[in-house]
Amino acid sequence: MLKQKITIVGGGNIGISIAEGLIKSKAIKASQLIVTKRSSKASKELSQLKIQVTNNNIEGVKNADIIVLAVQPKQLIPVLDEIKPVLSDKKRIVVSVVSGVSTNEIQKVIGQNIALFRAMPNTAISIQDSMTCIAKKVGTKADEKVVFDLFDNLGEVAAIEEELMASATVLAACGIAFAMRFMRAASQGGIEIGFDAEIAQQIAAQTLRGATSLLLSSGKHPESEIDKVTTPQGCTIAGLNEMEHQGFSSALIKGLITSHKKINGIAG
Ligand X SMILES: NC(=O)c1ccc[n+]([C@@H]2O[C@H](COP(=O)([O-])OP(=O)(O)OC[C@H]3O[C@@H](n4cnc5c(N)ncnc54)[C@H](OP(=O)(O)O)[C@@H]3O)[C@@H](O)[C@H]2O)c1
Would you say 57 or 187 has its CB closer to ligand X? 57
Nearer to ligand X, 86 or 200 (CB): 86
Between the alpha carbon of residue 87 and those of residues 67, 126, 164, the distances in Å are 9, 27, 27
Q: Among residues 123 and 187, whose Cβ is nearest to ligand X?
A: 123
Least distance (Å) between residue 99 CB and ligand X: 3
Q: Are 17 and 125 in contact (CB under 8 A)?
A: yes
Give φ, ψ of 131 to 5 degrees: -110, 115
Residue type at position 147:
V
DSSP 28-75: S-GGGEEEE-SS-PPPHHHHHTT-EEES-HHHHHTT-SEEEE-S-HHH
Question: By beta-carbon distance, which residue lies closest to ligand X?
Answer: 12
The DSSP bridge pattern shows strands 93-96 and 33-36 to be unpaired
| Residues lying near ligand X in the complex (CB under 6 A) | 9-15, 36-39, 57, 70-73, 75, 79, 97-99, 120-123, 173
Return the number of the residue (174 or 200) whose C-beta is nearest ligand X.
174
As measured in angstroms, the least distance from the Cβ of 188 to ligand X is: 24
* In the complex, minimum distance from the CB of residue 37 to ligand X, in angstroms, rounded to a whole number: 4
Q: How far is the CB of 222 from ligand X (least distance, A)?
A: 24
